Structures are given as structure tokens and as C-alpha cells.
Amino acid sequence: MLRVTGATTLLVDESTEIEGGEVLVDRGVVVGITVVGEANPHSGAVQLLDATDAIVTPGLVNAHHHLLQSAFRTLPGTRGVPMSVWLPAMASSYAAAGIDASLLEASAAVGVAEGLLNGVTTVADHHLNWPAETPVADRTAIARATADAAARLGGRLVFVRGSARDAPEDAAESAEAIVQALVPGAIGGVRADGLLQVAVGPAGVHSDSRETFELLGEVAARHGLRRRTQANEQVDTAIALERYGRRPLDLLEEWGWLADDVTIAHLCDVTPAEIARLAAAGVTATHAPGCDLPMGWGISPVHALREAGVTVGLGTSGGGSNDAGHLLADARLAMQVAPLVGPALSARTVLGMAMAGGAAGLGRPELGHLRPGAAADLCVWDVSGVADAGIADPVAGLLWASPGRRPRHVVVGGRVVVRDYELVEADERELVAAVRERVGR
């Protein structure tokens, strides 16, 4: 049993705080919450995790990432350029390195480690880039390497078998093989221990055909998988209008991809009528301002989406556009830019997006909060330093103060994976060296 003790504040969820709250964890789940001085109602040996002068929050859920890109950041020709220039620059670097299991083993390990060190306990990896004309076994090996990297470090992974101009039949065949290899017989594509999940997701109507959406949707229906895609960035809208004479959400609805098992990332260019359609269909959304702003795609109207009833999570997107996997920093950015497209968002609202909001889009109600019965994923954030001096509201200060804030400790499924700001299961320097060796930089 683990007891997280000494915290000044326990943030149970975005609307519930307990001063002096302590968390009791057993067999990977939260079994109780007490306050300082209360007796432990549970028997057995107790391991203590010090949260003195700190705020304890649920683990963060990065609902949209591209882990491959963790090995391809700030590349020449990828900054301040349109998507039509960015894509070939990234593709050229991928081709030079050669996309295979060894590349994903290195890049995913760095991406998951970066997330854990910044409080991300669950990451959804929308993997879009696959080697051409290779056996299904080689593509399955890429998924397995990504899953193994996350398991080695102790993070939760949602592997999204994505597609970007793949042949529809190949994408579906590969998705089926990945399900059978990673989560055979799992309910909803989630392994019994909850540490690994499989989903499917074409990149968007700008790159994938109706047939790809339909065939991947059939795989999802067979196995109860979540479906994820990207839509209504400016470039997505422009291509859809040019190619089909329709807006992206019109196509997604026609192709059967506006439904309550679908999460859509970006959604920068949406009309009030489209927002109402998303809400009526039960679609969830992922806000990714750390990608959308530098790529010039605009700002998703998060307040309007939430007001309409759309659940919104938060994601960093990949290193090729964001260059960082620091979800709390992107939560701060989301809060800062919200007034440019609507009413301001409070720190607690955005923290909720980074926790339960993202978990909802994954169909994972046990994540993103610390109520009894929840998965024991949590972060301990020190608030005793100069960055928090003068802060009247320490919970709001988690975002407003210290843009580079990192957690002191991180727990995933009751297992301490970051202790005193360092990875427990890996050496950062070795992870960095592996990427340098693999990509030749």
C-alpha cells in the first residue's frame, strides 16, 4: 500500500479540492482519501511518498501526440512554413532515418519519458507514418516497440493505428494485426491492467479516403475500439473544399465518423452550426494549442465547444510542430490564448481538460481523477519555491506560475515512476544517446 502524505492540497478533480488531503493506494487503485491526522483505515504495510509543501493532482492525460516526432524536432524547413512545405521536410527526415521498430523504440522511449517527467501518465500516440511495401509483421513490430518502450518506463499508452495516405486495405489489415498482437481479446481495446490500449485513426479527410475511414471503422466496430482523427485545421478545410467541395465535418458525418466513440483533434476552423453537430453526435475533442499556433492553424474555440456540451481534452501533438511534450505548459498556453477567441478559461477548467477531459475521449472513466476506485495515477507538484512566492491560489498557480514546472514525484497505477524529479526505470542520458545514435544527429 502507498500513502501520499503531507500535501498542502489534494486536487481530486477539477472542482474538488481537499486541504491537507492524503491519498491511499492499494493494488493500483485509489482506495481512500484522508486528511492529515486521520488514521489509516486499511491494514497492511504502508509505503510513504512525501508530498510536503506540494499539491497532488491526478496524472495528466496527453490526448494527442505523435511519439515518432520526438526524434525529429526543430528540423530545418519545418518552422514558420505552410503545411505543404512542412510535410515533405518531415517525410524526408523520416525516410533518411528509416521508419522501423528500432526507430520507434528510441523515439517513443524519449517521448514517454519526457511526458512522465512533466506529469503525463497517459499518452495517446497517433502513429501515422509507416514504411512502404513492408510485411504486416514489420508494422506490428513498430506498434509493439512503442508499447514496450512505454511499459519499460511505466507509462500508460494508447496506441492509435493511424493512416496518412496508406492503402485502405493495408491500413485495415495492419490495424487488425496490431489488435491481435497487443491486446488480444481485450474489452474495448484496453488490456486488463489498463496500461495499454489500441485505437484507430486516419490522419484526416485531407489525406485519407472514404474507404480508409470505413475499413478502419469496421476494425473498430469488431473490437470495440475508440476512433480518433484530425479535422478543421485551416489546411484540412481548404483541401476538403478543393477536393470534395465539402467541409471536413460534412465528410466525416457522411463517412460515419461523427459519433460518440470518435475524438477529433484541432478543430480550429469550426462554425457554431458545426459545433452544435459535434455536440449532438457526442463527439469529443482535443485542443492542441502548442501545435496549432506555431503551424498557423488558429485557435480552437474551446469555450464554445464546452458550452455546447462537447467534452474537450488537451494534447501536445508531436515534436515536429510543438517540439515539446510538456502538457502542463500547453495547458498554460490554452488558458492564455482562450480570450482571443471567446471568454477566458479558468486554470481549473484547463487542468480538468488535461485530466478527465482527455480520459473521456479515450473512453477511460477511471483516469483523470483521484476518487476512490480510480486508477492510482497522480503527480506531486512542489509549490514551495520562488516561482510560487506570492501566489494566493496555489492550484491556479500550477498554470500561471513557472511555465517549465515539473513534478517532484509521479505515480502510475500505484507504481512510482518518477521520484525526486528523476525517472525510476531509466537513465535520461541513455535515452538521449539512443536517439542520437539511431537518427545520426
Question: What are 165-207's pLDDT values in tens digits?
Answer: 999 999 999 999 999 999 999 999 999 999 999 999 999 999 9
Q: Which of 84-88, 138-142, 397-401 shows the lowest per-residue confidence on average (mean pLDDT)?
A: 84-88
Closest CA to 441 of 108, 114, 78, 72: 72
pTM for this predicted structure: 0.97
106, pLDDT greater than 90: yes
Q: How far apart are CA 292 and CA 306, in angstroms?
A: 19
The H-or-E segment that residue 141 falls in is helix 136-153
42, pLDDT greater than 90: no
CB 377 within 8 A of CB 413: yes
Instruction: pLDDT band for 441, please (50, 70, 90 cuts).
Output: confident
Average pLDDT for 319-323: 95
In this predicted model, what pLDDT tens digit does every residue of 248-272 receive, in sequence order?
999 999 999 999 999 999 999 999 9
Q: Give the pLDDT of residue 188.
A: 96
Count other C-beta atoms under 10 Å from residue 20's C-beta. Answer: 15
Q: What is the distance of C-alpha 152 from the center of its chain?
A: 18
Region class of 335: left (phi > 0), else alpha (psi between -120 and 50), else beta: alpha
CB 33 within 8 A of CB 23: yes
Q: State how beta strands 29-35 and 9-13 pair.
A: unpaired
Instruction: pLDDT band for 36, please (50, 70, 90 cuts).
Output: confident
CB 243 within 8 A of CB 199: no
Dihedral sign (CA 253, 257, 263, 265): negative
Instruction: pLDDT band for 112, please (50, 70, 90 cuts).
Output: very high
Instruction: pLDDT band for 43, please (50, 70, 90 cuts).
Output: low
37, pLDDT greater than 80: no
Secondary structure of residue 226 in the 3-state scheme: coil
Per-residue DSSP letter, 190: B
How does the average pLDDT of the chain come out, rounded?
A: 96
Q: What is the distance of C-alpha 99 from the center of its chain?
A: 22
Average pLDDT for 289-317: 97
Q: Give the pLDDT of residue 40.
A: 63
35, pLDDT greater than 90: no
Q: How far apart are CA 247 and CA 268, in angstroms?
A: 13
In this predicted model, what pLDDT tens digit does every residue of 365-400 receive, in sequence order?
999 999 999 999 999 999 999 999 999 999 999 999
334, pLDDT greater than 80: yes
39, pLDDT greater than 70: no
12, pLDDT greater than 80: yes
Half-sphere exposure of 375 (CA within 13 A, CB side): 25
122, pLDDT greater than 80: yes
In this predicted model, what pLDDT tens digit does every residue of 143-156 receive, in sequence order?
999 999 999 999 99
Q: How far apart are CA 288 and CA 313, in angstroms?
A: 9
CB 402 within 8 A of CB 100: no
Q: How far apart are CA 371 and CA 30, in angstroms?
A: 7
Q: Give the pLDDT of residue 78.
A: 94
% of the chain beyond a pLDDT of 70: 98
133, pLDDT greater than 90: no
DSSP assignment string, 198-218? EEEEES-TTTS-HHHHHHHHH
Q: What share of the chain is helix, strand, coil (3-state, %, to 5)?
A: 40, 20, 35
Give me the phi and psi of 344, to 5 degrees please. Answer: -65, 155
DSSP assignment string, 250-293? HHHHHTT--STTEEEEE--S--HHHHHHHHHHT-EEEE-HHHHT
